[in-house]
């Protein structure tokens, strides 16, 4: 027994002894992918091991999340994703192959960016009231990351509160939804500010409103959706890191400490802030409690919307 305990301590102290993978369960170019690629090299420098970003898209992030949930609980496979998707999935999917509350454990939150309600520049609307009136004449194609995703449910909330009429078009990630709206294939989208703001700044998208209680300094002239009549409404993209349940506490603590140092570094903080994201970090226990609250909140939204997927 003593020899076994000593061996366990040696293994814990030796971590990391080989490359680490960050699984991003969406296509390249979205908020999660942007953050993962921003932190991979600094994290590699801190841990003295290669940190590899791997995109594994599908099923609203559930394919990649399932892979991490079923990976060895050794700290070498990390999940970096929009945690809203994980909080929503248990309520939306009837046959989810894993349980986020039981099979995954939080490491830390990294950043938050509100959703932007944006349109193709050709859409003749400059505020929510005009957009709603336009949609009531003919349904507007509304691009969403995936059916049952946080942007989809945010769109449903806006639709129900404002009387808008959307035709939802699902994609495999926010980057693809943005790309098709920029190309004019869809007319409206709701997506994280981090991945959407560059297209607004370049004039390729026109922003209608921000899904936050207060205006964002980078686009201070754009009113919140709350200001435009969508009562008690706030949504956004919470990016966080998780690992398989059972990962040693010492490894989780080390990951938490190093990730917080990296994301709070002046260079990365400035880069994210300049794109509309706010650095938000938590302890593992705080992140697990955050998930619990979010699961309950989104379960109520899903029940009201009547959304269920196989």
Closest-CA residue to 305 (of 150, 196, 82): 150
For tokens 């650095």, the residue is 279
Question: Locate tokens 């300049």: which residue?
Answer: 274
Judge if 44 and 118 occupy the same domain: no
Same domain for 270 and 199? no
Residue 227: inside a domain, yes or no?
no
Boundary of a domain, candidates 186, 219, 252: 219
3-state secondary structure of 242: strand
Q: Which residue segment(s) compose the domain that 300 sits in?
A: 2-113+236-305
Whether 126 and 185 share a structural domain: yes
Q: Does residue 203 lie in a domain region? A: yes
Residue ending a domain, choose from 185, 219, 253: 219
pLDDT of residue 104: 96
b/e sequence 50-85, b meaning 16+ C-beta within 10 Å? ebebebbbebbbbbbbbbbbebebbbbbbbbbbbbb
Q: Are residues 84 and 162 in the same domain?
A: no
Mapped onto helix, strand or coil, the DSSP state of residue 125 is coil
The Cα 266–Cα 259 span in angstroms is: 14
215 and 140 in a common domain: yes
Same domain, 103 and 7: yes
Preceding amide of 16 cis, omega within 30:
yes
Helix, strand, coil % over all residues of the chain, rounded to 5: 45, 20, 30
Residues 96, 100, 101, 107, Cα dihedral to 10°: 180
Identify the domain boundary among 167, 188, 219.
Answer: 219
Domain match, 196 and 297 both: no
Residue at 310 is within a domain: no
pLDDT at residue number 10? 45
Number of domains, the chain: 2
For residue 42, give Cα distances in angstroms to 109, 252, 260, 285: 17, 18, 11, 24
Note the pLDDT of residue 6: 47
> What pLDDT is attached to residue 100?
92
What DSSP state is assigned to residue 266? H
13 and 87 share one domain:
yes
Mean pLDDT per 10-residue run, the chain (310 residues)? Answer: 50 83 94 96 98 93 95 98 85 90 96 96 98 98 90 92 96 90 97 94 97 94 96 90 98 98 97 93 95 87 81
In a domain, 229, yes or no: no
**What CATH number is given to the structural domain containing 179?**
3.40.190.10
Same domain, 97 and 240: yes
The verdict on 78 and 209 lying in the same domain is no
Looking at the structure, tell me whether residues 107 and 122 fall in a common domain.
Answer: no
Pairing of strands 20-24, 51-55: parallel
What is the H or E stretch that residue 106 is in? strand 104-119
* Residue indicated by tokens 């049952």: 148
């Amino acid at each position: 027994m003593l020899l076994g305990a000593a061996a366990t301590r040696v293994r814990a102290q030796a971590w990391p002894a080989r490359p680490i993978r960050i699984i991003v369960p969406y296509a390249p170019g979205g908020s999660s992918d942007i953050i993962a690629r921003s932190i991979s090299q600094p994290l590699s420098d801190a841990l003295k091991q290669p940190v590899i970003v791997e995109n594994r898209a599908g099923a609203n992030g559930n394919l990649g999340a399932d892979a991490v949930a079923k990976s060895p609980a050794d700290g070498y496979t990390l999940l970096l994703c929009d945690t809203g998707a994980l909080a929503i999935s248990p309520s939306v999917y009837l046959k989810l192959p894993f349980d986020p509350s039981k099979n995954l454990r939080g490491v830390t939150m990294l950043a938050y960016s509100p959703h932007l309600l944006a349109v193709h520049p050709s859409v003749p609307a400059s505020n929510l009231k005009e957009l709603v009136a336009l949609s009531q004449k003919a349904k507007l194609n509304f691009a969403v990351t995936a059916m049952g995703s946080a942007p989809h449910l945010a769109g449903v909330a806006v639709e129900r509160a404002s009387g808008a009429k959307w035709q939802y078009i699902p994609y495999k990630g926010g980057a693809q939804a943005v790309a098709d709206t920029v190309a004019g294939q869809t007319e409206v989208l709701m997506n994280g500010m981090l991945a959407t703001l560059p297209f607004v700044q370049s004039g390729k998208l026109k922003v209608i409103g921000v899904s936050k209680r207060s205006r964002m300094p980078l686009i201070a002239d754009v009113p919140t959706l709350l200001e435009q009549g969508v009562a008690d409404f706030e949504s956004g993209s919470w990016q966080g890191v998780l690992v398989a349940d059972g990962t040693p506490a010492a490894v989780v603590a080390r990951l938490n400490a190093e990730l917080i140092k990296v994301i709070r570094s002046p260079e990365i903080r400035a880069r994210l802030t300049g794109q509309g994201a706010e650095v938000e970090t938590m302890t593992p226990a705080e992140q697990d409690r955050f998930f619990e609250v979010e699961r309950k909140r989104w379960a109520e939204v899903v029940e009201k919307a009547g959304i269920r997927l196989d």
